[in-house]
Amino acid sequence: MSIDLTAASITEAVQKTFEGAEDERVKELFIRLVQHLHDFTREVRLTGEEWFTAMDFLERVGKTCTPTRQEFVLLSDILGLSVLVDLIHHPGGGSVTDSTLLGPFYVEGRPTAQNGSDISGEVEGIPLFFNGRVLDPDGNPVAGAKVDTWHSDGEGFYDVQMQDKLHGRLAMRALLTTDDEGRFWYRSVAPRYYPVPNDGPCGEILRAANRSPMRPEHLHFRLHAEGFEPLITMLVRSDDPYVERDAVFGVRRSLVVDFVHHDAGDTAPDGTRMGEPFQTVERTFVLDHREH
């Protein structure tokens, strides 16, 4: 019955309208969503003014979105939803490398690079040498794995945030391929902690809650290999001031690593005697076999 509804009976009336959905999952998702939305609304006794404010907020989130500014993804990130979805399906704790969120700065058109090359795109900063290895759960090397990596510069900016300065070039990102021993390695510049974009509607939430917008210093990785589950992950600098309070909840203990400092005059992993201080990071990634 959908007349003479009360604040209690309206929920079932709305849920019934989804009973006819052909797709069982669509039916389940909408029926449960209506339940939780209505329960929330009753619990907090949402006022008309508050609901209007929320609708206006969502409209502004939508209007802020562009091909390079994903405010809805950011909203999901700062509410912990992006990581929650990942944690449900990849709870971690096993031998396989933990995953975490992709973030908005991954781009499809990244350049491919040879192992050992400098992927900094001539951006200035503290030299950083990364050495990675990709293994299967039995410890065998995964040769020919495709490894995307991307990170910020030493001031916390990604290439896509400074396209004017870079004259439209991409930098500090590349697609590498592991060798026969599952190894990949590159040179770049050290990244830095940075704020998530907070000049839009999501920034209003962060400020209203007195929340920090900062993400700790990190390197992103996306790995694909034939016969293995894809992995999206990142490595976080262990002595970063924000390691315990990431604005988007993406840090997992297993992904925290040392960014090792070396003095000028030391020899870099590629055999270069460096005339300036530099950093090295090493990490093994373990991919899960693909389920069939």
113 part of the interface to ligand BEZ, by CB under 6 A: no
Instruction: Restricting to residues 241-280, name those near ligand BEZ by CB under 6 A.
Output: 248
Q: End-to-end distance of the chain based on CA atoms, in angstroms?
A: 45
Comparison of 262 and 283: residue with beta carbon closer to ligand BEZ: 283
Comparison of 31 and 218: residue with beta carbon closer to ligand BEZ: 218
Measured from the CB of residue 101, what is the shortest distance to ligand BEZ in angstroms? Answer: 6
Measured from the CB of residue 22, what is the shortest distance to ligand BEZ in angstroms? Answer: 35
217 part of the interface to ligand BEZ, by CB under 6 A: no
105 part of the interface to ligand BEZ, by CB under 6 A: yes
121 part of the interface to ligand BEZ, by CB under 6 A: no
Q: Which does 248 bind (CB under 5 to 8 A by kind): ligand BEZ, Fe ion, none?
A: ligand BEZ
Of the candidate spans 52-60, 101-109, 181-189, 202-210, the one that interacts with Fe ion by CB under 5 A turns out to be 101-109
Q: Which does 71 bind (CB under 5 to 8 A by kind): ligand BEZ, Fe ion, none?
A: none
Measured from the CB of residue 234, what is the shortest distance to Fe ion in angstroms? Answer: 7
Which one of 11, 34, 73, 103 is in contact with Fe ion (CB under 5 A)?
103
Comparison of 133 and 222: residue with beta carbon closer to Fe ion: 222
Q: For binding to Fe ion (CB under 5 A), which residues are involved?
A: 103
